[in-house]
């Protein structure tokens, strides 16, 4: 399998760390960032590596040579003038395989590349973009996908104040089919993938797939970001982040836990985030715990809210959390309800399912999709139903007394901890608070 790395960057903002070296040569805990990338590529079987070089190419050529010292085969292609990310790839197209992975030389990552490759092949798309939530969606360019995962729009900053978007950001890691790029060979450079080519491909009717990931991938292009990445590397967080490694998670209920319990939220206006919820989720995010919302939404079966309406509510939730520097990795909901016979209901959803809490279908689905480790995971909720779900799934349970249950009125068992908010729940889960 082939990987192409955009390694031409000058790294002006990292000048103090780099001297005259190109950006991918910046030292990250004892070796160049580019060497970390090549180690990851080799681990996942991407042993044919093409380096697209620009600034000071000899420093990279001299260090990596033909790649044999690193267990891969390396070809070096030098561009005479900066062509932009897409321009550089288009200029090198003849040297590339039918499908290739494109890596940006200033990102640190630990992604299960085999899994990404397989998902791209199954999608049949022209290109697949790795997308993920971040802690500042308000000033990030966002990607909108449909329920099948196909990209339907790119939303560049600034975002209009009266619209909410899901927190999905282009992480700058792509699987690309060469034949899909061929029609663009003669497009004028400089040309950037995210800003120019992908929007044009979408407009021309080419299919782009959004591959959602909970894994670590961050740009290290400024001194501050580089220092964050180095700290994450030294703490072991990056090493643990691959989807190939089972991850601990916190499953969290929605109504009454993250947002105010009102009588069935069926439109975004009724959705208000509770004090401490965003702060608590942010604390969990910062330690690398995966955060998954699991919620019963019988409003769908009742016909009070459509799937599209529910997406809008969730977009508002993600925007509100994002404004406070917090994000959820995934949202799972049950649209069903067992009791038939009401006006306006959707009979096909009026069924006994295995996903309506306290059944554990949502939890097991998330564990499968995201490779989560239930033995190291938690459940946070406000109701007896949540406690039962946690018990059925074998998860320790933290009750927040913001919604339904109130302190101690549980028939089904005793929570591990009763918290006043998600923030307090997070402190307990992270070991910063003792049981009462
Ligand atoms: Zn269900």
Is there a single domain that holds both residue 322 and residue 231? no
Is residue 436 within 8 Å of 420, Cβ to Cβ? Answer: no
Dump pLDDT digits (tens) for 91-135.
999 999 999 999 999 999 999 999 999 999 999 999 999 999 999
Is there a single domain that holds both residue 168 and residue 232? yes
Q: Which of 219, 239, 259 is the last residue of a domain?
A: 239
Place of tokens 């959390």: 321
Q: What is the pLDDT of residue 418?
A: 93
> Mean pLDDT in the chain?
95
pTM: 0.94
Is there a single domain that holds both residue 77 and residue 189? yes
Q: Which of 239, 268, 287 is the last residue of a domain?
A: 239
Place of tokens 């779900």: 389
Is there a single domain that holds both residue 325 and residue 193? no
Q: Is the pLDDT of residue 71 over 80?
A: yes
> Of the candidates 159, 155, 168, 169, which has an alpha carbon nearest to the alpha carbon of residue 199?
155
For ligand 1, the distance from its centroid to the CA atom of residue 361, given in whole angstroms, is: 8
Residues with Cβ within 8 Å of 228's Cβ and at least 6 positions away in sequence, in order, are 218
Is residue 49 within 8 Å of 34, Cβ to Cβ? Answer: no
For 233-247, what is the mean pLDDT?
96
| Residue ranges making up the domain that contains 226 | 2-239
Q: Is the pLDDT of residue 407 over 80?
A: no
For 256-278, what is the mean pLDDT?
92
Catalytic site residues? 253, 255
Is there a single domain that holds both residue 196 and residue 304? no
Q: Is the pLDDT of residue 237 over 70?
A: yes
- The SS3 assignment for 170 reads strand
Q: Is the pLDDT of residue 405 over 90?
A: no
- The SS3 assignment for 106 reads coil
Alpha carbons 339 and 341: distance in angstroms, whole number: 7
Res. 435 pLDDT band, cuts 50 70 90: low
Indicate whether 76 belongs to any domain.
yes
Is there a single domain that holds both residue 284 and residue 212? no
For ligand 1, the distance from its centroid to the CA atom of residue 214, given in whole angstroms, is: 24
Count other Cβ atoms within 10 Å, centred on residue 234. Answer: 12
Indicate whether 388 belongs to any domain.
yes
Q: What is the pLDDT of residue 410?
A: 74
Q: What is the pLDDT of residue 100?
A: 98
Q: What are phi and psi of 225, to 5 degrees?
A: -65, -40
Dump pLDDT digits (tens) for 10-56.
888 999 999 999 999 999 999 999 999 999 999 999 999 999 999 99
Q: What is the pLDDT of residue 286?
A: 93
Indicate whether 303 belongs to any domain.
yes
Is there a single domain that holds both residue 273 and residue 137? no
Indicate whether 45 belongs to any domain.
yes
Indicate whether 102 belongs to any domain.
yes
Is there a single domain that holds both residue 235 and residue 252? no
For ligand 1, the distance from its centroid to the CA atom of residue 342, given in whole angstroms, is: 18
For ligand 1, the distance from its centroid to the CA atom of residue 430, given in whole angstroms, is: 31
Q: Is the pLDDT of residue 409 over 80?
A: no
Is there a single domain that holds both residue 87 and residue 223? yes
For 301-307, what is the mean pLDDT?
94
Res. 436 pLDDT band, cuts 50 70 90: low
Give the total number of structural domains in the chain. 2
Beta bridge pairs of residue 252? 293, 380
Indicate whether 434 belongs to any domain.
no
Alpha carbons 69 and 229: distance in angstroms, whole number: 26
Q: What is the pLDDT of residue 406?
A: 56
Among 6-20, 151-165, 360-374, the range with the most confident prediction by mean pLDDT is: 360-374
Report which of residues 66 and 265 the model is more confident about.
66
Q: Which of 210, 239, 268 is the last residue of a domain?
A: 239
Q: What is the pLDDT of residue 262?
A: 86
Indicate whether 435 belongs to any domain.
no
Give the distance, in angstroms, between the CA of residue 352 and the centroid of all CA atoms in the same chain. 32
Is there a single domain that holds both residue 235 and residue 128? yes
For 174-201, what is the mean pLDDT?
96
Is there a single domain that holds both residue 231 and residue 251? no
Is there a single domain that holds both residue 195 and residue 311? no
CATH number at residue 134: 3.90.550.10
Indicate whether 436 belongs to any domain.
no
Alpha carbons 431 and 389: distance in angstroms, whole number: 23
For ligand 1, the distance from its centroid to the CA atom of residue 345, given in whole angstroms, is: 15
């Amino acid at each position: 399998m082939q990987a192409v790395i955009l390694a031409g960057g000058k790294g002006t903002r990292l000048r103090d760390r780099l001297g005259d070296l190109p950006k991918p040569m910046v030292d990250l805990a004892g070796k160049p960032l580019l060497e970390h990338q090549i180690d990851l590529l080799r681990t996942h079987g991407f042993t044919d590596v093409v380096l697209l070089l620009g600034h000071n190419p000899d420093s990279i050529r001299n260090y990596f040579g033909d790649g044999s010292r690193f267990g891969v085969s390396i070809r070096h292609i030098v561009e005479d003038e900066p062509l932009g990310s897409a321009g550089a790839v288009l200029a090198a197209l003849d040297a590339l395989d039918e499908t290739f992975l494109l890596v940006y030389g200033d990102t640190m990552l630990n992604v299960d590349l085999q899994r990404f490759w397989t998902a791209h092949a199954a999608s049949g798309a022209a290109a697949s973009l790795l997308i993920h939530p971040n802690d500042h969606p308000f000033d990030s360019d966002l990607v909108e996908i449909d329920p099948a995962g196909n990209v339907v729009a790119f939303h560049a900053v600034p975002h209009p104040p009266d619209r909410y978007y899901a927190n999905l950001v282009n992480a700058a890691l792509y699987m690309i089919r060469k034949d899909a790029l061929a029609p663009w060979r003669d497009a004028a450079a400089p040309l950037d993938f995210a800003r120019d080519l992908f929007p044009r491909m979408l407009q021309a009717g080419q299919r782009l797939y959004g591959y959602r990931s909970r894994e670590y991938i961050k740009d290290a292009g400024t001194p501050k970001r580089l220092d964050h990445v180095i700290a994450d590397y030294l703490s072991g967080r990056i090493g643990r982040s691959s989807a190939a490694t089972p991850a601990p998670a916190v499953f969290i209920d929605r109504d009454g836990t993250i947002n105010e319990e009102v009588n069935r939220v069926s439109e975004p206006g009724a959705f208000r985030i509770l004090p401490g919820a965003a702060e608590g989720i942010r604390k969990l995010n910062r330690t690398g715990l995966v955060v998954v919302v699991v919620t019963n939404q019988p409003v769908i079966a009742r016909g009070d809210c459509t799937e599209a309406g529910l997406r809008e509510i969730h977009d508002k939730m993600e925007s509100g959390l994002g404004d406070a520097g917090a994000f959820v990795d995934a949202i799972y909901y049950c649209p069903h309800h067992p009791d038939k016979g009401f006006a306006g209901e959707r009979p096909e959803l009026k069924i006994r399912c295995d996903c309506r809490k306290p059944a554990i279908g949502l939890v097991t689905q998330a564990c499968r999709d995201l490779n989560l480790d239930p033995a190291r995971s938690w459940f946070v909720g406000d109701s007896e139903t949540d406690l039962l779900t946690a018990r059925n799934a074998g998860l320790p349970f933290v009750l927040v007394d913001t919604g339904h249950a109130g302190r101690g009125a549980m028939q089904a068992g005793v929570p591990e901890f009763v918290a006043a908010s998600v923030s307090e729940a997070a402190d307990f889960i992270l070991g910063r608070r003792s049981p009462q």
